Chain A
Amino acid sequence: MSHNDSTNESPLLSALSHVAHLLPIQGPIGVFVHHNTLHAFEQMPFHEALLEGEKHFGGRPYLTEDAYHDHFKTGRIQTSDIEAAYKAVYGVSFAQETAKIADLITRGALRKLRILHTFYAPQQGSVPFLLHDGGALDAFHPAVTEAQRAFLMRGERSPRHVLTSLFEVAKALSFSIQSPPPVEEPVLRHQQSLRIETGVDIDDWTVPFMIRWASTFLDGGTAYWPLPMREKGFYAAVRSLCSDTSWASSSFARRVSSLFSDQQKNEFDAEKTCEHCLKELGVSKNKTESFLEALLAPVRGFAGMFNKLQHDADPHAEALPTLIDFVAVRLTLELAAVQTLATKTSTPGWAFGKWLEKTLPIQTRDALSDAFVLFQLFQLTGTRPARAKSIEAAGAAALLHELQVFGERDVRRVWQEAYELHYAYEVSGAIAAHPPCPGFKPRFQVITCLDEREESFRRHIEETDPLVETFGGAGFFGLPVDYRGIDDAYATARCPIVLDPDREIHERVHPDDVALLDRRKKRRRLLGLVSRELGNSSRMFMRGAVLNAFVGWLMAVPMALRVLFPRWSARVSKLYSSLVVPAPRTRLEVDPTPHHHDERMLLGMPESERIDRVAGFLENIGLTHSFSPLVVVLGHGSNSLNNPHESAHDCGACGGRHGGPNARLFAHLANEKPVREGLAKRGLTIPDETWFIGGEHDTCTDAVFFWDTEEIPDSHKALFDKAVRTLDEARAHAAHERCRRFDFAPWGMTPERALREVERRAAAFDEPRPEYGHATNAYAVVGRRSRTRGLFLDRRPFLISYNPLSDPKGDILTRTLAAVGPVCAGINLEYYFSSVDNEHYGCGTKLPHNITAGLGVMNGAGSDLRTGLPWQMVEIHEPLRLLMIIEQTKEALLSVLHRVPAVKLMVEKQWIRLAALEPTRGEISLLQPDLTFSTPITAPAQPLATVVRSAEYYHGHREHLRPAVTKAATVRLSEPAVEAA
């Protein structure tokens, strides 16, 4: 198979590569990497891509109209936002659209009416129900105003009388309009025509087959009995296992077997099989692509996984999946099914190609439904029956046409823009008007990931001790390495997936503890073996019978304890394993004279590279002077149980893994004498009394732990203890703030009690929401922390530290934007799509999820692989496109943007929005898609609330909150007494 040659690809392969582009690119769920769900259309403008997505995947492009109406009622979207959004989309305001339609209403007014009120266009056949049982003839449309009502009712006794005559007029008008011929669409697959003719859906035969065999093939250790011959590839293995007709019980299964055995006799490879089946099915060349796309649609998840694994092969996997293999099996089944079913149709002798020449009606005008629309329009415009009667058929047609041109998707587009604009103005105003926090001499400094979940943690650190300075940067700390801890089976990459590390770092045991490590390994191995054998045995025949019958009831004890007392029992079991399994001291081995581990990997890191990497990261975040004696570097990760999507909560900048090892490595490198000397030569002087310490923040339990604490110099021990105390207090407050979102956390709990609640969430099997992950992310601020310090930002912005003053040429910004722009946008867009249509773009509710092949989840026992995020992760998310507020002058920002084409494209195509925060002034200008700036925003529309600490502000609120000013982080700075405390 030479399917990688793009130069002289066969038509089949080129069609397949187009189809492959539309498949989901989510990899194995164990390392979840966020990406734009509509990556296939990212070259298109955002709103067009949404429509393409709807066409290809059936996903809703925006929230429902009802959802926007709810936001309108709460004031989250306001009339002024709608007007601004309409103007932004159409270039004119409602008032400027003065053309009168049917002499009844101006286009602008009609559109505004349409946006603010759903004109319910009922489904075919439901109008009589609405009229007679739904009360549509008894009460006016709920949005009819009092004045309109009085006008309509003038001289009439009951609403029913007016409404009945109005509907009669509307009906007469609608039926007087000539209906266009129904729009038809060619069928894409035989399955559609055959289903109409025979009532049988061949997917019911073929899809379960595909799902069973594909998951067995991909399986990395669930099934006790692996697929024989899987190393030969999916097609070859399935073909030789299924080519025996004697066992197949249904006529379809017999057909499948005989096709496979013919293919085996003819020694077809996968590509040849595909071509052969397509020919047999009568799929012409020009229809191949659409046919294949429709063919793969019911098994998109698995097809995508084959495609993904073909390109990003897991080096430890036994089998190499390829998309062409998958398609070959799928096509063979399709052919077998069509052959089986075609004999049962009225035209059994037809060539199969004829089934593809049929069309399906997709759109037929329903005059009664149109009548209902006119009926509602008359009410909302206060049109009395007499007046309505004077409208001619052409006028009514024009009204209906206008409502079709400015259709439901256009309405929701305006709503979406209004929804986003409102928020953009709100946060921009808050940040622009916020006075920068004055400089001070920090007691210690904390560097965390730019993750929006660290916003609250950083804010609470600053509120707890206003003499702490915090920074945010990409959580791999500029160190793209493969890492292997003492407990890991093999090394894994800890960096954004776009980077391909060629450095490997190992954690090594302290020389004194070698014996301890040995014992640790042995004990862990023993425990692992026991747990594996017990788990397997309980499912087996004889072993299972003995185990279940005689010791099974013992399991009631752990079951009851883990369910009833999750936090307590998790602690006991942790304590137990820490007693049994010793923890040796370790250190990172960073060989200064690296050697090749294998042909690609370099174990260790050469000195010049260390200096470059450390300097690069510190320059990026603007920490090049005013070092405090202690710098705490914190990566992050998340641990939770019973959560197949656990890894989606880990650090995105570390490729969906924990970022702690990177933090530890960074601290290790930054403490090295030679590195410091090298840095000093480059003009970056870190004082001798500055010590770096690495650690990790668990975003689920809000625990913080440190590495290499024994290496801290005595002089710094007191300060480190102080820092630990501060962080402990801050993480309790951060947990408390997170708890405001959880219904099970009561109001009025202490921060310590909040910590227990989040620890329970991580340890409990019954918790489908251990944390909310990136949900609620909405914008990013690239700039100095002083511009946002003292603002309550509700865990919504990615905070990237960047000092515009030390970057006159924009080189740092270019680097930062290129690195973090796509990462943040990927997270943001995945959340956007999973929340606007959780069934199509997300993976639905978690409750029936079933891990299959160790790679993904399906619903129940036999669905396709579900990609995207589960409902429990996105239920509180507001789907807003990312707004990146960058602290830089407008001119500098534009010139940088031209140097980062990927981000520039995203801005022009409206996948993200950029804004410039003037470094020296309090104003923010939004960058429009045509790369011009809006009028500067200098203040929020409504003044912000001011509180001392965040808790006062969020108390009692489970919903999203506007920004607010928190004094604790800034106000005490001027008080000299703080220093003594």
Chain B
Amino acid sequence: MTTRDWILTAVVFAPLLTGLAVGLPARFGTLVAERYVRALVGTALTLTWLGSVALAIWFWKSPESAFELQLFDLFRVGDVGFSISFLVDTAGVPMMLLTTTLTGIVGRFSFRYMHKERGFLRFFVLLCFFETGMLLVSLSGGLDVLVFGWEIVGLSSAMLVAFFTHRNEPRSSALYVFTTYRIFDVGLLVAGVFLHHYAHSVQFSKAFGGVKWPLAVAHLPTAGAVAVAVALTFAAIGKSAQLPASAWLPRAMEGPTPSSAIFYGALSVHAGAFLLLRAEPILEEVPLVRILIVVIGIATAVHATLVGRAQADVKTSLAYASMTQVGIIFAEIGAGFYRVALLHIVGHAIVRSWQLLRAPSFLHESHVVHDALEGDEWVRGRHAELIFPQKAQHRLYRLAVERFFLESLVRRLLVAPALHLARSLDSFEKRLALIFVGETAPESKGTPGETTGNYTEPQSAAERP
């Protein structure tokens, strides 16, 4: 391996190792003191950032030098194998730089912000894991490594939503986020299976026809391309809070401010969009799926902008503003503006995370502006809202405040039938088992709380026919 390869490997894994180093002692009953956490994590974040800058400079000096690094094979049987590989290219490098920069800044921010908080250590362990997860997503050379990073990102996000374990809302919101993630992650796994089947590899360099992003073209059979593209789109919808999965995003604001800023304002919410960018060679093959992505993106953006305009609290309003922009990014990707979309991701992630970090200053800042404008009324609701006649406006307003009843719609149309099916299957299986055991079936009395966990309990019970 060359120096460059070493740097790349170190950049990806240094945060994970640091997280383990400060986190593992807790497993044996010793909590690493704050100042050591600060020193270790601070060093790791800084070095990771420097490493990523070095890689980026090196890459931009000779843009033709996109390359793939095969670290090692986990196993290989003939043609099929599972190898750990990284891909450094025009799509991955900006994402890498964005990840290390934002994590570095937010990490530094949190040293003081999280000071003395119960869970200080937990926060930084999760932040380190998250950074490696995001870097794996950005730099992975194949779908298998990407899945690995994807799952780390999902898990650490959900655990940061549940950061304040002593209250109920964070716990149930975290469960909600986690469940949504898990359901949509299926798309990624399915895409992997299809890729293996049709392209005999999940390496982007092979399956997607080269490393010249965004000019590479995959050569999959049409059925395969459609299947993979749909599955990846499904996965991207969940992670990037697009319709119909968007209800988790405002719920994720239960964590401490910096985690909201970096996860839901900046990085993990864009992971889905990045996945689609990554899959661009396949998307190029299937215009129908691209149209689907545009439709989903526009629908999400319109939904989110209407909802966001009616939210009276700072963090929810920012969450919906995020969703709006991610929707537009989806539309850009669907329309084929890949470079614009990449630029949009970077710019938006920075703006939004900075706004979320400053969210507690909202009053201070709005007083300053208010005085500067000498008490002028806020100019509000001038544009989209006034296009509609008044009656429609009022209807729309209610839908905006109620977030288009999305949560209860999803429960009624998706969750409840799924639960119903699961319960029927469960009782069928029990009956079947009892036939063999030879006893009579007891009355099945499934209470909703048993099978569905906390979050679906209230509404689903009401929605039961």
Contacts and interface: CB of A to CB of B under 8 A. Distances in A.
Interface of A: 29-30, 198-202, 204-205, 209, 212-213, 215-216, 218-219, 221-229, 240-242, 244, 247-253, 316, 340-341, 344, 487-490, 521, 524-525, 527-529, 531-532, 535, 538-541, 544-545, 547-553, 555-556, 558-560, 563-564, 641-644, 646, 743-744, 764-769, 839, 845-854, 858-863, 872, 875
A560 B350 CA distance: 10
Contacts of B379: 532
Contacts of B393: 228
B373 A532 contact: yes
B361 A222 contact: no
Given A539-B308, A553-B346, A744 B112 contact: yes
Contact of A644 (B110, B350, B360): B360
Interface of B is mostly: helix
A509 B319 CA distance: 43
A201 B350 contact: no
A541 B414 CA distance: 29
A209 B403 CA distance: 11
Contact of B402 (A212, A743, A849): A212
20 contacts: A202-B458, A216-B312, A216-B401, A224-B309, A229-B394, A241-B397, A344-B461, A528-B368, A532-B369, A539-B321, A539-B324, A545-B328, A548-B344, A551-B347, A560-B101, A743-B116, A766-B108, A766-B109, A851-B313, A860-B254
Contact of B313 (A30, A222, A846): A222
Nearest to A318: B377
Given A851-B362, A854-B363, A556 B350 contact: yes
A250 B321 CA distance: 26
A122 B323 CA distance: 48
A486 B375 CA distance: 13
A847 B115 contact: no
A539 B105 CA distance: 22
A545 B254 contact: no
Contacts of A212: 401-402
Interface of B: 101, 105, 108-117, 163-164, 166-167, 169-170, 173, 250-251, 253-257, 301-302, 305, 308-319, 321, 324-325, 328, 340, 343-344, 346-355, 357-375, 378-381, 383-385, 390, 393-395, 397-402, 405, 408-409, 412, 447-449, 457-459, 461-464
Given A212-B402, A228-B394, A489 B112 contact: no
Contacts of B375: 316, 489-490
B112 A764 contact: yes
Q: Nearest 10 A-B pairs (CB), nearest first?
A: A552-B347, A528-B372, A489-B375, A860-B254, A852-B313, A539-B321, A847-B256, A219-B312, A549-B344, A204-B458
A851 B367 CA distance: 14
A251 B462 contact: yes
A244 B398 contact: yes
B351 A250 contact: no
A863 B253 CA distance: 11
A643 B360 contact: yes
Most buried by B among A204, A547, A646, A766: A766
Contact of B400 (A225, A535, A863): A225
Contacts of B348: 548-549, 552
Contacts of A219: 312
A538 B380 contact: no
B105 A560 contact: yes
Nearest to A553: B347
A225 B350 contact: no
A642 B361 contact: yes
Nearest to A564: B108
A200 B452 CA distance: 13
B95 to A, nearest CB: 13
Given A200-B462, A549-B347, 19 more contacts: A204-B459, A221-B366, A222-B311, A222-B314, A225-B385, A250-B459, A489-B373, A532-B373, A539-B308, A548-B351, A552-B350, A553-B347, A556-B350, A559-B350, A559-B353, A642-B357, A644-B363, A853-B313, A860-B169
A552 B412 contact: no
B164 A642 contact: no
Contacts of B365: 531, 535
Contact of B312 (A218, A744, A847): A218
B462 A344 contact: yes
A541 B324 contact: yes
Given A552-B350, A564-B108, A850 B369 contact: no
A799 B329 CA distance: 60
Nearest to A212: B401
A848 B458 contact: no
A325 B349 CA distance: 41
Contacts of B459: 204-205, 250
Given A539-B318, A845-B117, A847-B113, A199 B105 contact: no
A270 B116 CA distance: 47
Nearest to A857: B360
Contacts of A564: 105, 108
A849 B360 contact: yes
